[in-house]
């Protein structure tokens, strides 16, 4: 009897321990974080708590376990998002460029030689000076390691460098580019070009760059204390050597939360003080209406859209393509289906950017009857009475691939319903982003969802390249020169794009962008869902200044402070 009781108690205890273990796997509070972070001197949270320091629990999606800007794009972004690294320049919310580590610059008449003066007094978080030599070393190291297979970032995509040389006396860095650029200050805002303290001899081919991943030393307001690669949770502490004013928090727990509803619940229960981009419309609406929380929303620079495969049925049949564009009620999709998470527009670039959005004309606005008429006139009819139309005697079934990110799968499902109304069958495959990417590259789709940061470097050339060079053959894609995975071909578009890339006149470039956008609209080349509205949500009684920025890679900053 006693043994049985003992067994029961043991089982009860074990069950309790297991349950607690599961619940606290990636907790935000001090002791929990400590368990999952690296050992040694104890967690930052605990230290901050012991000292009565100011602590922030930030729940967010963590895209990378590395902060090295050379590692790959997500790592570079997380470095700037978490306030660990900074660039020579930074974007303001209107996407004009502001000085940051650089405080003045000069450019030669041929737009190829750029001389940047490094701000005096800037220090890395380890106390080392962030002077011209350090900046040149950091950028040289970026280009050196990214040319090898050790790192995956692609700084060469945006900026082709000839040389990067420091003048220690003048505290300037001179960058010579291979071709003229209209403006490289906006490109240098991109997280690839974040400045880090380079350890060791960067000219040494044997240097172990992998060691730099999580131990990145930057000039941002916060420093990595620990990062658990399994839970993707990290502890940040104040950068005692920060050069640009007071750092408001002594420590920050960055808690990886994948699910949007969990983010909302954690904020409501007080487990986290701040979170980003809740894409569940109902949660966002509820929190917006509650005075205990502060919700900051802004139309960002991210565009949600579906590629149209021009090698498939949609590319080959213009009437079918046009009918599909007419059958989709983009406004309702943005306002109702995704609850205002997107702002509707038919152009590929967000309406908030300075590309004279109002001048664009869309001949394929929502018109179901018009869509049906287009199909009827083109002889695409439902002849067997199954509710779906046939083309050349064969039922049309469009393959639509999507993934669960920023409401994209909701768009896909709603478009499936919309197209059923005009008698077009759609098979939606909701997969993970990697599989979708592979299917997209292989051309195994008719419609393929994506969302892009359209002007990550302040201008849209990388984004607009998605529809460039369709006539250059498969070699073009194989050797990664192109990103045109929808096989769109338009000579006029290609000509304008080449002109855009060659031009250094900012007004002319803006004009060319508008023309390219209009061509894409006229050709029904891309089914634009809308422009994603980024959001930051905070506990109003604990946090102040938690406003989301237009640029997607700015999250934690000194503006966010305890109340």
Partner 1 sequence: MNNFMKKNKSFLFFCFLVLLVVLVAVFAPFLTGGQDPTEGILANALQKPSGEHWFGTDKMGRDIFARVIYGTRTSLTAALSVVAIIFTVGTVLGILAGYFGGIADAVIMRFSDMMISFPGMVLAIAIAGILGASIQNAVLAVSMVSWTKYARLARSLVLKIRHRDYVAAAVVTGSKTPYILMKYMLPNALPTLVITGATDIGGMMLELAGLSFLGFGAQAPTPEWGLMLNEGRAYMAAAPWLMIFPGLAIFLVVVVFNLFGDSLRDVLDPRDE
Residues that bind partner 1 (CB under 8 A): 260-261, 280, 282-283, 285-286, 329, 332-333, 336-337, 409-410, 413-414, 416-418, 420, 428-430
Cβ proximity to partner 1, 175 vs 287, nearer residue? 287
Q: Indicate the SS3 state at residue 468.
A: coil
- Tell me which residue has tokens 């000579």: 491
Cβ-based nearer residue to partner 1, 351 or 429: 429
SS3 397: strand
HSE of 518, CA atoms in CB hemisphere, 13 A = 15
Alpha-carbon distance of 184 to 116, in angstroms, equals 11
> What is residue 547's three-state secondary structure?
coil
Query: Across the beta sheet with 172-177, what order do the strands follow?
Result: 102-107, 113-118, 172-177, 161-167
> Which SS3 state, helix, strand or coil, does residue 22 take?
helix
With respect to partner 1, which residue has the nearer C-beta, 158 or 411?
Answer: 411
Helix (H) or strand (E) holding 255: strand 251-256
Phi-psi region of 546 (alpha: psi -120 to 50; beta: other; left: phi over 0): beta
Virtual CA dihedral for 184, 188, 193, 197, nearest 10 degrees?
Answer: 110
- For partner 1, which is the closer residue by CB, 233 or 333? 333
Phi, psi of 440 (to 5 degrees): -65, -45
Total Cβ atoms within 10 A of residue 205? 8
Give strand pairing partners of 394.
391
What is the CA angle 333-335-338, rounded to 5? 60
125 C-beta neighbours (distance < 10 Å), count: 25
Q: Helices 318-327 and 408-421: crossing angle, nearest 10°?
A: 110
| Helices and strands (H and E) in the chain: how many | 18, 21
Q: Which two tokens stand for residue 450?
A: 């994506």
Give the dihedral sign, CA 377/379/380/386: positive
- Judged by CB, which is closer to partner 1: 140, or 280? 280
Which residues are CB-contacts of 489 (< 8 A; sequence separation ≥ 6)? Answer: 310, 470, 471
Question: 314 with 324: CB under 8 angstroms?
Answer: yes
CA 280 to CA 343: how far, in whole Å?
15
Q: Closest by alpha carbon to 178, among 501, 511, 512? A: 501
Contact between residue 122 and residue 136 where contact means Cβ atoms under 8 Å apart: no
The candidate with the shortest Cα–Cα distance to 519, out of 347, 327, 321, is 347
Closest to partner 1 by CB, 96 vs 427, is: 427
């Amino acid at each position: 009897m006693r043994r049985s009781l003992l067994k029961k108690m043991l089982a009860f205890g074990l069950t309790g321990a297991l349950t607690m273990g599961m619940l606290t796997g990636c907790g935000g509070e001090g002791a929990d974080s400590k368990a999952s972070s690296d050992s040694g001197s104890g967690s930052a949270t605990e230290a901050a708590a012991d000292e009565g320091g100011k602590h922030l629990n930030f729940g967010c999606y963590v895209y990378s376990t590395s902060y090295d800007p050379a590692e790959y794009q997500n790592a570079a972004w997380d470095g700037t998002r978490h306030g660990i690294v900074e660039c020579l320049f930074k974007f303001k919310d209107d996407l004009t460029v502001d000085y940051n580590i650089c405080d003045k610059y000069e450019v030669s008449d041929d737009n190829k030689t750029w001389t940047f003066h490094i701000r005096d007094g800037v220090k890395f978080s380890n106390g080392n000076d962030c002077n011209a030599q350090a900046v040149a070393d950091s950028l040289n190291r970026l280009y050196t390691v990214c040319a090898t297979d050790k790192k995956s970032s692609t700084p060469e995509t945006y900026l082709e460098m000839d040389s990067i040389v420091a003048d220690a006396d003048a505290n300037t860095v001179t960058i010579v580019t291979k071709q003229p650029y209209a403006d490289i200050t906006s490109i240098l805002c991109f997280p690839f070009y974040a400045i880090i303290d380079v350890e060791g001899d960067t000219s040494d081919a044997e240097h172990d760059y992998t060691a730099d991943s999580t131990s990145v030393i930057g000039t941002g307001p916060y420093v990595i204390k620990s990062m658990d690669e399994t839970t993707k949770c990290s502890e940040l502490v104040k950068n005692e050597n920060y050069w640009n004013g007071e750092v408001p928090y002594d420590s920050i727990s960055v808690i990886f939360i994948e699910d949007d509803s969990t983010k909302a619940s954690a904020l409501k229960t007080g487990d986290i003080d701040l979170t980003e981009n809740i894409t569940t419309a109902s949660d966002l609406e509820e929190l917006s209406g509650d005075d205990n929380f502060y919700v900051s929303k802004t139309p960002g620079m991210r565009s949600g859209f579906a590629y149209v495969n021009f090698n498939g049925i949609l590319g080959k049949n213009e009437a079918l393509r046009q009918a599909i564009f007419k059958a989709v009620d983009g406004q309702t999709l943005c306002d109702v289906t995704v609850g205002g998470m997107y702002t509707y527009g038919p152009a590929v670039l967000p309406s908030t950017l300075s590309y004279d959005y109002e001048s664009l004309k869309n001949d394929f606005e929502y018109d179901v009857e018009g869509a049906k008429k287009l199909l009827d006139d083109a002889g695409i009819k439902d002849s067997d009475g199954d509710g779906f139309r046939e083309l050349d005697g064969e039922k049309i079934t469009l393959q639509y691939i999507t993934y669960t990110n920023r409401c994209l799968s909701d768009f896909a499902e709603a478009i499936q319903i919309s197209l059923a109304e005009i008698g077009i069958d759609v098979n939606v495959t909701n997969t993970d982003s990697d599989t979708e990417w592979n299917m997209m590259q292989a051309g195994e789709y008719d419609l393929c969802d994506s969302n892009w940061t359209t002007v990550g470097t302040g201008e849209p050339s990388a984004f607009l390249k998605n529809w460039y060079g369709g006539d250059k053959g498969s070699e073009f894609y194989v050797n990664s020169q192109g990103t045109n995975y929808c096989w769109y071909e338009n000579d006029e578009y290609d000509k304008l794009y080449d002109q855009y890339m060659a031009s250094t006149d900012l007004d002319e470039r803006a004009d060319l962008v508008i023309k390219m956008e209009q061509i894409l609209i006229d050709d029904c080349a891309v089914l634009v869902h809308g422009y994603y509205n980024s959001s930051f949500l905070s506990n109003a009684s604990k946090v102040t200044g938690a406003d989301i920025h237009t640029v997607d890679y700015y999250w934690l900053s000194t503006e966010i402070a305890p109340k």
